[in-house]
Structure formats: structure tokens, C-alpha cells
Structure 1
């Protein structure tokens, strides 16, 4: 159930991008549902054409892909109040090239994208939020790309721990390692070095 406290928390988070009115928030509420999901639940499969946008209320999710040899690579890790979907696939209405799954038990808000687009076209504050959020997403991707190119593995790991302090207790080591573009053995060495 979407409670008043939840609406306020979401409004506070959204306001970082653009201050949406309570009226618009309640219209958004009408096109959403709250889902309680177990760890390991697939939200979107490779090949799906997505029609939902997700907001994490509690828990952690990730996007990942699997190469032709069957090896997994974590593309992104999503934390509470992050908004995510396969944006490339949902905007272009093409099949997604990644899986989207829960890493832990999660509570997520699921919004129908087509209905969201209709609201966006009718309400200028939702439209302004939309573009502000997409601009922020582009900036986040720039930072992530720079980290991958300029930071060593230890620095990337420390940056991830700063974003998600309890990451080591939440998800398996191999998933953290693939997100950092290193092997689990390398991650184990980094952790050992930091603990000494």
C-alpha cells in the first residue's frame, strides 16, 4: 500500500530533480502498484519489451547481462528511492539487452510507462521532472564511465561502499566483483588489504 509517509519520501526524492505538485503525485499514484518481492525475482528478462518503471522503496536490485560463455556482468546496482528500467528499451520500444532482478527482498513501486507518458504530456511539472531526471541519469553514467577508466579496483570498491555502506552483507561477492569489473579473487584481496 502506498502510504502518506511513502508519498512524502518519494516527493522529497523527486524534488531533488524537480518539485512535483501533490496533485501530480496523486495522479502518479493512480497508475502505480506496490509489490513485495523475494530476492532473485526477475523484473525484466533479456528480450522483453518493458512497459514498467520501478522505484525501490526497500531493498536492492541490479541490472546484468550474460555473455555467450554464460558469465554474468552486473551493469548497475539500484538502492532505495532509485528509479530504474531499461530506459533504452522502454523509450525505443525494443527488446531489453539486460536482466533486471532483485538482489534482496524488496518493496518496489511499479509504474505503467504508457500511462506515465500520458500524464507527462498533460502536466508540465511531471514533464520537467522527467527531463531533469534523464539529465541526472546521463551525468551518473558519465561519472560511472570515468570511474571505470580512471580509478583502480580498490578505489572503485571504496566508492561503491560509500554509496551502499552495507554492500558486503547484502549480495554475493561475485556480483560485487562483476559490477567493479574485477574477479572475485581480486575483490577478496582488496578486502583483505583494507582490513590490515
Structure 2
């Protein structure tokens, strides 16, 4: 398998108390892949056995309503885990599509291989548990932001996480992610840049 030890080690540094030997075993499951802007790494209605850790680039998850309108649910950046995790756990077809919004370099990991190791080894089981906790915390933060922050606060938070987001992806993706209309986002940006 091909991987950059430094970049994946940055990711695995989030998981304390896992022996290095087990981290190395996890790293051996990863293969490095490159995707172009607009490539789909997972599609709605399909099943997959893989999840991804982002080294560089931006990926979004979205769903499409019956009229064909797309709604961005999550924007994933460096060191985030992405892919249809519910599909991996349940075996059901994905309810979301995952699209590269820029050229991306990711580490592709076979979920079934990871789970098989976790079933045999307590340290790998702990790593699996820690990764799920990490994903849960990220998702809980997103849910909190949508319910407790207003649109302007959500935009400021996104700009803090990805300062050049306005130059990286289309405004309508940002608006959809923030759960606002493109017109409302334009007003927020105008207000922000006029200060």
C-alpha cells in the first residue's frame, strides 16, 4: 500500500493511547488516491466498502430532491474522514453523493478489513471506537451550528475553518451548506466585506 506516513500520522495523532504498532497496522490498510474536481467518490443509491481520509482538497456530501435540486449537507476538508459511513455500517445504499469540489488527495481504506482487525484486536477496536467518537463530535458540532448559530455566524465559522472558501468552491454550494439562499449569502458577504 502507498501512503504518506507524515500526513496519515497527523490524522492518527488525534487518537491517543493506541500503540504505535497498531497505528502502523491501520496505516497499512490505506492506499493513496487522487481525484479531480467534480469526481464522485460515492453515489446515492450505491453501496461501497470504503471510507476516506482527506490529505488535501475539499469534498462535499449532498442529496438531490425529486426536482433535481442539490442540497449540500457537509463540507469535508483536510484530515476529515468522509464517505457514506451509514452505508458502511448498515449495508444499505447511500442516501448521499460525495463529490470532490477541488482536486483531492485521499487515503482510501476498506471498512470491512478495518472492522475485521477490530474484531480480533482490542487496540484496533479502541481505534475504531475513537474514530467513531471523532466523527460523532464533528457531526454534533454541525447540528449545533445549524440550530444555534444564525447564518452570519455559520458563515464566519466556515471562513475561519477554510479562509479562502469563497475562491475554492461555487457560492451556491456554500449557500446550500449554510442552509441559506444564494441571495442571503450575498448579503452576508457584502455586509462582512463592507466592515
How would you bin the TM-score normalised by the shorter chain?
A: over 0.9
Q: Is the 8 A contact 1:54 1:110 kept in 2?
A: yes
Cα distance change, pair 136–27 in 1 and its aligned pair in 2 (3 A): closer
Does the aligned pair in 2 maintain the 1:18–1:128 contact within 8 Å?
A: no
Residue from 23, 29, 42 that aligns with 1:25: 23
Partner of 1:79: 77
Equivalent runs, 1:96-107 vs 2, <5 Å: 96-107=94-105
Structure 2, gaps ≥5 residues long: none
Number of residue equivalences: 194
Over the aligned positions, Cα root-mean-square deviation in angstroms equals 1.6
Rounded to whole Å, the distance in 2 between the matches of 1:145 and 1:30 is 33
| CA distance, structure 2, for counterparts of residue 126 and residue 50 of structure 1 | 21
Relative to structure 2, which stretch is displaced further, 62-71 or 120-129?
Answer: 120-129
Aligned to 1:186: 184
Question: Contact conserved, 1:19 with 1:129, CA < 8 A, in 2?
Answer: no
Q: How far apart are 1:28 and its partner, in Å? A: 2.7
Aligned equivalents of 2:103 and 2:19: distance in 1?
A: 31
Which residue pairs with 1:59 in the alignment? 57
Deviation at 1:19, TM superposition (A): 4.0
2:9 corresponds in structure 1 to 11
Q: CA deviation at 1:159?
A: 0.8
Higher deviation after alignment, 57-66 or 16-25: 16-25
Residue 11 (structure 1) shift: 2.2
Helix, strand or coil: the match of 1:109?
strand
Question: Quick one: which of 9, 33, 36 aligns to 1:35?
Answer: 33
